[in-house]
Amino acid sequence: MASKKPWRIIPRPLLETILNNHAQHHRVHQPLILHGPRGVGKTTLILERLLNNWNKGPHITGYVDFAQTIKAHNGPSFPWDSWSNSPPPNLSDCRKSLDQCLEAMAEKALRLGAITSRQIFTSLNKWHGLTGALRRVLHTPDYNKASPAVLWDRAVFAMLSQCNAEEINRVLGFGEKENSVLSVEEASYFKESVVALKLAKKVIEIQQGWRANAIAHMKRTGNFSRRLTHSSTDWPLLLLDLLSQAAEIDHFQPKLVINNIEVLKHAIENDEFSVSGPLYHDSLIWRIIALGANEQCLPVILVTSDSYYSYEAFLDFGYMEIFISRETFGWTPQEAKMHMVADYFSPSEWNVIAEVLGPNPRHLFELHALKQSNYLQKTTADRTSTFEDIVDAYLAYLQISVVNPALDRALEILQNFAIDVRNGKVSDDKLRFGAPWRHPPHVDDPKLRMEWAKIQLMDFVQCLVNADFGVNYRIEYSEEIFDDPSAVALLQVGLLYAQRDPPFFRPISRGIQRCLVRWLVQQRMQLRFPHLIRFLWHRIIRGRYYRHLMVQVDGKY
C-alpha cells in the first residue's frame, strides 16, 4: 500500500523557486519540462507570474505558444479540450512563430554586441558546409578555390551594400538615445553583424532548398533519414547556439519558454517538401537536448498538459534523466482553501466543492463565474437555488461540453484501431492472447465497429471504477495498460493523465472522474437487451481487470 496521499504534489512556492533557479542560470545542460493535467494553472498561475521577472534587467525571455492559432480558432470556450481533438495547426505557422521569437532575441543580442559576424560564421561552419551556398550567393563559379572564410567575408560585404539601411537601423535601434553616441567604426561593426545573421539565414534556406526533393522522396517512401529530418531545425538550432554562446551573467541572459509543445506532434505540413509535424517535434527536442549536453544551452522550459511528457518522452529521448522534470497538480485542498474560500466561497460551499470537484483551479474559477451569473436565477425562479444546484449545473456543463465530446472522439480512435487491426497494421505483441481488445470485427461494418468500440470503452471505464481509479502503471514493472487502446484513446483526448512520480494513471480531476462514471451509468442504461448481454459476456469472459495494479483504495485528490 502507498502512503495516504495518492501522489506527491510539489507545493507552488517550491515549484516557482525551482523554475526561478533554472531560469537564473545563463547556460544549463538540460531542458526543463513543466507538466501536469489541464486546469492546474501552469500558464495562468505560474508562468504569467514569473515571466515579468524573467524580462527585467539583463534577462530576456522568449515565449512561444504553439496552440495560439488553435485558441484563436476555438475561442475561450474550449479550455479543457485536448489539442489533439482540435483542428491541427499548420506546421509552417508553428515554425514561423518559433523562428520569429528566436530572431527577436537574436536582435536583442546584436544590439548588445553579444553576437558578432565571426561568431555566426564559426557556428554555421561547425554544422554546415558553406562553400556551395556562399558561391550561390556571390554567383561565383565553382572553380573559385577561395576558402569558406574568404567567401563569407565577401558575401557579408556584398549583402551589406544590398540590404535596406532602414531595416538594419531598426534592428540595431539606431536613433534611440542609448545608441546615438556610436562612432562610425562601432556602427559599421554592428551593421556587419546584422547582415551576417541575414546571410546565415539565406545560406540555410539555400541548403534546405537543395534537400527539398530528398525530403519529398523520404515522405513518399516512408523511410527515415536523421540528417534530412534535422535539416528542418537548422535555423532555430543555429539561433539557440548563438544565443547560448552570447549568454553572460548580468549582461545578457536569454531563456526560452515553449508552451503546448505537444501541438507540434499534431501539426500538419503544408507541402510535400516539409517534414511532418511529429518529425519536426522530435528533431527540435533532440537537438535542444544535444546542444545542452555537448556545449550547454540557454534555459529552455517546455510546458505541456500531455502526459506523454511525464514518462514516455524520457524513454523515447534516451533515459529517465534526459530532462529536468517538474510535475504540478495545482493547488492542494489547503492551498485552494487559502486562495479561494475566504473571498469567493463559504466554508460549507467549499466542503461541497472539495468532495465533488476537488481543488482544481479551473474548476473553481468556472464555478465561481457560474455562481455570479444570472443564468441560474432565471432557471430557478420558481424556487430557491442552492449551491448544490449550481454544482450540479456545472457538472452538467462539464458532461455535455467537455467529457461527452471527448469520449465521442475516443470512440473514433478505437474504431480506427479496429480498422488498423483488420488491415494488419497492429503488431502481434499488442494483440497477445487474452487481451480484451484482441478480437475487433473482421468485417468492414461501421455499425459493428461502433458497437465494439463502445463495449471496449465501457469495459475500460468500468475496470477503472472497480479499481477506484487507483491504478499504478509501473507496479511490479508492469506497463501493459499502455497497450490498451482504450487507455491510449482516453490519454489522447485529455481525460486521463499518466503522471510520473508516483506513476499513477488517473482522471485529470475529481470532477472529470465523476463525469466519466456518469457516462458509464448512462451508457449502461441505454443498452438494449442484446447489447447488454454482449457487454456482460465481455466483462465476464474478456473483461479488463486492473485491480492488481491498484495501490490505494478510496484515494482522494
- Render each residue's pLDDT in the chain as its tens digit; 557 residues: 333 333 344 556 688 888 999 999 999 999 999 999 998 989 888 888 899 899 999 999 999 999 888 876 665 446 787 887 888 899 999 999 999 999 999 999 998 889 999 999 999 998 888 888 998 988 877 656 788 899 999 999 888 877 777 777 777 776 554 555 667 777 788 888 889 999 999 999 999 999 999 999 998 998 999 999 999 999 999 999 999 999 999 999 999 999 999 999 999 987 888 899 999 999 999 999 999 999 999 999 999 999 999 888 988 898 878 899 899 888 888 888 777 777 788 888 888 998 999 888 899 989 988 888 865 565 555 555 688 888 999 999 999 999 999 999 999 999 999 999 999 999 888 888 888 999 999 899 999 999 999 999 999 999 999 888 888 887 765 667 888 999 999 999 999 999 887 788 889 999 999 999 999 999 999 999 999 999 999 999 988 887 666 554 444 43
Nearest to 451 by CA among 391, 523, 548, 556: 523
Residues 281 and 200 in one domain: yes
Angle between helices 446-466 and 529-541 (to 10 degrees): 50
Q: Which of 326, 346, 361 is the last residue of a domain?
A: 326
Residues 303 and 337 in one domain: no
pTM summary value: 0.89
Residues 112 and 154 in one domain: yes
Does some domain include residue 557?
A: no
Grid cell at residue 354:
472539495
Does some domain include residue 395?
A: no
Domain containing residue 371: 333-385
Grid cell at residue 37:
493535467
Residues 337 and 231 in one domain: no
Per-residue model confidence (pLDDT) at position 233: 95
Does some domain include residue 75?
A: yes
Chain length of the chain: 557
Query: Are 196 and 190 contacting, i.e. CB atoms less than 8 angstroms apart?
Result: no
Residues 132 and 263 in one domain: yes
Does some domain include residue 425?
A: yes
Residues 35 and 83 in one domain: yes
Number of domains in the chain: 3
Does some domain include residue 2?
A: no
- Give me the torsion for CA of 299, 302, 307, 309, rounded to 10°: -50
Per-residue model confidence (pLDDT) at position 84: 79
Does some domain include residue 554?
A: no
Residues 286 and 410 in one domain: no
Does some domain include residue 31?
A: yes
Query: Are 136 and 206 contacting, i.e. CB atoms less than 8 angstroms apart?
Result: yes
Per-residue model confidence (pLDDT) at position 80: 83
Does some domain include residue 321?
A: yes
Residues 162 and 40 in one domain: yes
Residues 380 and 245 in one domain: no
Cα–Cα dist 262/290, whole Å: 20
Strands, E assignment, 79-224: none
Residues 138 and 287 in one domain: yes
Query: Are 521 and 463 contacting, i.e. CB atoms less than 8 angstroms apart?
Result: no
Q: Which of 326, 342, 369 is the last residue of a domain?
A: 326
Per-residue model confidence (pLDDT) at position 381: 52
Q: Which residues of 524-548 are buried (b: 16+ CB within 10 A; e: fewer)?
A: eeebeeeeeeebeebbeebbbebee
DSSP 494-525: TSEEE-SSS-EEEESSHHHHHHHHHHHHHHHH
Angle between helices 148-162 and 117-127 (to 10 degrees): 130
Residues 345 and 233 in one domain: no
Residues 369 and 296 in one domain: no
Cα–Cα dist 94/113, whole Å: 29
Query: Are 192 and 156 contacting, i.e. CB atoms less than 8 angstroms apart?
Result: yes
